[in-house]
Structure 1
Amino acid sequence: MDLEKDPGADMEALLRRLRLHRAAPSPYDPSPAVTPAPTNASDGELFRPRRAAVLVCLFRGAGGELRVILTKRSSVLSTHSGEVALPGGKTEEGDADDAATALRESKEEIGLDPALVTVATSLEHFLSKHLLVVVPVVGILSDIQVFNPLLNTSEVDEIFDVPLEMFLKDENRTSEDREKMGQTFTVHYFTYEKGNQKYIIWGLTARILIHAASVIYERPPAFPERRVQFNLAKYQNEYSSVPLGSVPARH
């Protein structure tokens, strides 16, 4: 199989290449290194958004193609119930880094043993509806056969996988334009069918997977992506004055 056409043909070569990848600086980093200090006391304290990480877990399918593990959130959850998501969640005290967060959450949600996953790289940061800075962590599962899913049914109803390359193709995709905080952006919807099951992958999850596929396959999607970066309020009192309806939605 041609590695140039399918990165999954040689997972070790893919791992070596991804370890050289450096994500662009985060536009949502409120650290003093990138954010000037307030000029007077009325500017308030530096606003530090909560952080989360998700695992883009890749493995080689039966045909040699790269596939990614996804979940369908529990229908009893109070937020985003029944939606498709990447395994992951909020950073907790004790997490050494974003990779530790993504692996811990993946074990809690779907029983994925962190020892089975080789972390390759972290990707560009995204901003969620709830002002979470979401960091995608790319990991490689060398042998899908040794993974025996154990679902936390309070969080996850189903686990399934899809070909990663589908997020670069203009097939089974629809989109709509939305406006938030004075900026227009595109929301992408991908339909994946397996047997009598139909899954809609959209919003933040779709945006992350389009970006991940672009990095891994080293080419842009075959459709206009139309991404934007929202301006995150830098200081606590500035954030407090932002109407909740002006905060960019997760999707």
Structure 2
Amino acid sequence: MKSATSATSLTATSFKLGSPRLLALAQQLRLYKPPLSSPFDEESTRKLVSHVGFQELMAPVRLTLKKAAVLICLFEGDDGDLRVILTKRSSTLSTHSGEVSLPGGKAEEHDKDDGVTATREAEEEIGLDPSLVDVVAFLEPFLSQHLLRVTPVVGILWDKKAFNPRPSPTEVEAVFDAPFEMFLKDENRRSEEIEWMGEKLLFHFFDYKTGDNDYVIWGLTSRILIRAATVVYQRPPAFIEQKPNLKYSKMNQATSLYGKLKALNSCIRLPWRSCSKFT
């Protein structure tokens, strides 16, 4: 959480550097409230949102999940378009090596909130000073394939020129940005349909080329970006997102789901492999 002094300074900076469009967007996002969860018990167990496209998956039992947060850092490009900062993970990492992701990572005990987690991790990974980022919204959490509860944090980078990327060589291979509206368009997008638990799911893959580099954005990252773009632009994507609404009311069903999520790990890392054995 920013101090009153730093918050005032940030506001002054935003009015100096931000366009009317970007300022209006910041105001809009500050008012955003994630959909409320329906209580399952006296402690109001929250809904979980999954990596594989279940927008509001109901969990009737309390699962102890580790928390993480990712930063959706938006800024205005030279042409006035809205852009988002992305990374390509190091090829030496043990998980998701070489994949495109959003800056972020696991929460630490001293983190006051998801905004602190996301901006702290972004600083560690790509050298983005947290004081440059104006956190304006928190989206509903997603459940990753490794059973992390990942909260997307939307932040605005008012002064892009003040950010000089310094990627951590052990974690990040490249830092780049992409047009944010791309994640609502059908252009440069392909999908793979997978049948799982009797439902047909669509995995979305966005192909993006910048300079001599080609990137594929998919999995949890593409799901989060589609959702975030839907909130920011206040319209649905131009393609079928197809998010089944599966509700489980019995303990054995929840246990079965938990096991299937773990079993699906290897499958969803290989998008062209059939997952029918998990249905």
Under a length normalisation based on structure 1, what TM-score does the superposition of the two structures give? 0.84
Deviation at 1:15, TM superposition (A): 0.6
Spell out the pairing of 1:205-216 with structure 2 (5 A cutoff). Answer: 205-216=221-232
Cα 1:211/1:241, change in 2 over 3 Å: closer
Q: Secondary structure at the match of 2:75?
A: strand
Specify whether residues 31 and 92 from structure 1 end up closer, same or farther in structure 2 by C-alpha distance, changes over 3 A only: farther
Report matched runs for 1:35-184 at 5 Å: 46-184=62-200
Q: Does 1:16 align with 2:27?
A: yes
Distance 2:232 2:37 in 1: 19
Change (3 A) 1:51 1:182: farther
**Aligned-partner Cα distance in 2 for 1:242–1:87:** 28
Deviation at 1:61, TM superposition (A): 0.1
Structure 2: 5+ residue runs without aligned partners?
A: 1-18, 47-60, 272-279
Equivalent residue, structure 2, for 1:34:
45
Change over 3 Å in CA distance of 1:96–1:186 after alignment to 2? same
- Alpha-carbon deviation of 1:34? 2.7
Counterparts of 1:228 and 1:184, CA distance in 2: 8
Q: Aligned with 2:259: secondary structure?
A: coil
What do the CA deviations read for 1:9-34 (whole angstroms, capped 9, x no partner)?
62111111100011113589999223
Question: Partner amino acid for 1:242?
Answer: G
Alpha carbons 2:39, 2:45 under 8 Å: kept: no
> What is the distance in 2 between the residues matched to 1:180 and 1:28?
26
- 1:242 is paired with a residue whose SS is helix
Superposition deviation, residue 230 in structure 1: 6.3
- Separation in 2, partners of 1:116, 1:29: 40
Instruction: Report % sequence identity.
Output: 52
Measured after TM superposition, the shift of residue 124 of structure 1 is 2.0
Instruction: Check conservation: 1:127, 1:134, Cα contact below 8 A.
Output: yes
Q: Is the 8 A contact 1:72 1:159 kept in 2?
A: yes
CA distance in 2, matches of 1:154, 1:196: 23
- Is contact 1:130–1:249 with CA below 8 Å preserved after alignment? no
Structure 1: gaps (5+ residues): 1-7, 36-44
Q: State the superposition RMSD in angstroms.
A: 3.0
CA distance 1:114–1:177, change in 2 (3 Å): same
TM-aligned CA distance change 1:219 to 1:61, over 3 Å: same
Does 2:249 match 1:242?
Answer: no
Number of residues paired by the alignment? 236
Per-residue Cα deviation, 1:165-192 (whole angstroms, up to 9, x for no partner): 0111100000011233443211000011
**Counterpart-to-counterpart distance in 1, 2:228 and 2:110:** 27
Provide TM-score, normalisation by structure 2: 0.76
Describe how 1:183-194 pairs up with structure 2 within 5 A.
Answer: 183-194=199-210
